[in-house]
Structure 1
Amino acid sequence: MSFAARTAPRRVARRTVRTLATVARMASEKTQVIEYLFRQRYNTETGTIDADKAVVFFDDITVAIDETGADLSKNNPANFWKDLTRKNPELSWPSFVLAIGWTGEDAIGAGNKASFRFVPLPPGQTTAFKKAMEPSDSALERAVTVQSLSIPVATKALGRSDENWVAQVAQRLAVVETHFAVFSARSVVEVNFLQTGIKLRGGEVDAAYSLTDFDGALWLVSVEVKSRSEQLWPAQVRRAALALQATSAATEMGARVIPFGVKIVDTSKIWTVEFEPAETEEEQLEVASEGIIELKPSVPGV
């Protein structure tokens, strides 16, 4: 066995330890910032936070980083909440805040430069955040295979693990179209790709499609894309769908919006989730259908 082969496991182990240490440090830094922001808003006498103070804005985060001396960058406070919820936000949530019955939720779109808001824990919930969504066993057992030979080798060589690449692969291989043809209970006659990376006032839509059903009704599909290392959170899916619903395009087309999720769950295995349309930010999304689409041959970055 070569020296490189013998030492490779040790290098991987060291990288893993360094990565875990970095994650732990970042979690600790964010924890003190969140607790500072909470203490600034929480009324100990009433056990409440005034409604007009519950939302945390980008500038508030910058000030809190300064006040706590946290070793965090102030260059992009817009990513503070996004980074927190990409994997496991429980690691960063202050035990003090949880102990007195408070958690946080996405507030992007709730105001100019809004990040997140403090909210009371739902009755009976003992963790700060509900467990992130995962594919059901039934979905995993009935995966559908889709060819990837139509993606040029040169294009695959540039494959990455970010959301833009996953959205591109999904579009090239008709992943969303396959879902509605195979897994959805909707009677669909046509699905068309529209655009990726749509930045809207109330949020960002990773990819958008139009859909025509059997009765001739026109729908828009708002797709939230997640790589393998990120979590699919219904609140983000709902926010993006409502942002698309609020556009003049949706109004002019007379189209309602179908919330939709696409997430990598294993090597070249894509989990697709269709939700029932949402009307308000308070409405909980309900899964309408889900499926697993496996790409063969496997695609780098997916």
Structure 2
Amino acid sequence: MPSEKTQVLEYLGKRYLAGDFPDGIIRNDDVVDAIRVTGASLSKSNPANFLKDVIRKTSANQNWPTLLKEERVTARQRYGEKRVMQFIPYGEDQNVPFPDPFEPDEATRVHLVQTASLPYVARHLGRSEETWLTQIAVNLRLVETQLALFSEGDQREHLRDIYHLQTGIKTQPEIDASFIASYTSSDDEQILPDYTFITCEVKQRNERILPDQIREQIAKAFDITASLVDPAIAYVKALAMKVVPVPAAVGQREFGVYVVEFNSIARDEFDQEYRNSPDPEALYRMPLARCATTLFRLSPRIKAIG
């Protein structure tokens, strides 16, 4: 229940404000203890997902404890070493615990894509889970379409090829889908292309795109590709997609797949500025600049999407 989670978060937040967690880090045992002390009827079996279940929903700001809003305290997920979450202060211009900076705006393109290549039965029996949405995106080549048609400037012009690598990489955090793209700025076949590892985060309807989750996925992508030599992965590019309403739809409410493309980051830059930084919080200050956004309308419609 959200109300009970709010109660547990407030208890942990009070301890944080009292100085019990100097670095703001909350671990598995802290969550389990807070559930016990508050008497909340919440499961203690999977504390690692405690914060995720709160902040991933569009109701995150509503369910955040009033006390922590007044004290301008928010939180992010943390991964590994039995860490669950970290309390942190609001940013300088932040007015709510969990802002949504990557929603569609006036610059978002709307693009109609066919779904007839998907079997009729599949279009009507699909579900709303991330795995199904990921499969839809892969089968309709939404990532390829985004990068080939809607990337900005040189990124689009220099794209050579892109292919789907894997669905559901079981890392912390999990990466819903990954792709490999190659880029070249020359027609000379003797000049080797640059290879980019692409992460794709997929969200259901009424779920939020989490900036720190995207940053963690970028870091993990550099980790898992560090040993590759031929070809070496020189860049990582993050994408995120979610189901959103089509604002101009007439008549029955229509939903499409919204794709956010972020600027690529070079391995050398990432290592120097973030991985090798003496500041453990450096990663969370890495800018996430969206370079293009597209809302894909689906025709014929897919039942699980809307």
TM-score (norm 2): 0.81
Q: CA deviation at 1:263?
A: 1.1
1:299 paired residue number? 302
Give the 3 Å change call, closer, same or farther, for CA 132–58 of structure 1 in structure 2. farther
Aligned to 2:243: 264
Please give the alpha-carbon distance, in whole angstroms, between the structure 2 residues aligned to 1:154 and 1:195: 24
Partners of 1:132 and 1:233 within 8 A in 2:
no
5+ residue gaps in structure 2? 186-192, 246-253, 275-282
Match of 2:47 in 1: 77
2:122 is equivalent to residue 119 of structure 1:
no
Structure 1 gap segments, 5+ residues each: 1-25
Counterpart Cα distance in 1 of 2:74 and 2:131: 30
Q: Which residue of 2 aligns with 1:19?
A: none
- Aligned equivalents of 1:130 and 1:250: distance in 2? 36
Q: In 1, are the aligned partners of 2:55 and 2:98 still within 8 Å (CA)?
A: no
Which residue identity is paired with 1:180? L
Percent identity among equivalent residues?
33
Deviation at 1:297, TM superposition (A): 0.2
Q: What is the TM-score of this pair, normalised by structure 1?
A: 0.82
RCO (CA 8 Å, sep 6+): is it higher in 1 or 2? 2
* 1:40-87, Cα deviation, whole Å (9 max, x unpaired): 33336xxx9512xx1112222121111101122223222211110122
Once residues 221 and 114 of structure 1 are traced to their aligned partners in structure 2, the CA distance between those partners, rounded to angstroms, is: 26
Q: Distance in 2 between matches of 1:156 and 1:126?
A: 41
Alignment of 1:39 with 2:17, yes or no, is: no
Aligned partners of 1:125 and 1:144: how far apart in 2?
Answer: 32
Conserved in 1, the CA contact under 8 Å of 2:203 and 2:209? yes
**Distance 1:36-1:272 versus aligned 2 partners, 3 A rule:** same
How has the CA–CA distance of structure 1 residues 301 and 113 changed in structure 2, closer, same or farther, with 3 Å as cutoff?
farther
Equivalent runs, 1:162-181 vs 2, <5 Å = 162-181=129-148
Q: Distance in 2 between matches of 1:131 and 1:290?
A: 14
What SS is found at the alignment partner of 1:143?
strand
Counterpart CA distance in 2 for 1:59 and 1:132 is 32
CA separation of 1:211 and 1:137: change in aligned 2, threshold 3 A: same
Task: Look up the match of 1:100.
Answer: 71
C-alpha spacing 1:43/1:251, structure 2 compared with 1 (3 Å):
farther
Q: Which residue of 2 aligns with 1:277?
A: 264
Q: Which of 209, 212, 230 is residue 235 of structure 1 equivalent to?
A: 212
Shift of 1:226: 0.7
> Does the residue aligned with 1:246 lie in a helix, a strand or coil?
helix
Alignment RMSD (CA, Å): 1.9
CA-CA distance at 1:138 after TM superposition? 2.8
8 Å CA contact retained: 2:107, 2:293: no
How far apart, CA to CA, are the structure 1 residues paired with 2:62 and 2:261?
Answer: 29
Checking the alignment, whether the CA contact within 8 Å between 1:244 and 1:250 is kept in structure 2 is no
* Structure 2: distance between partners of 1:72 and 1:131: 28
Shift of 1:250: 6.4
2:104 counterpart of 1:135: yes
The separation in 1 between residues aligned to 2:21 and 2:30, in whole angstroms, is 16
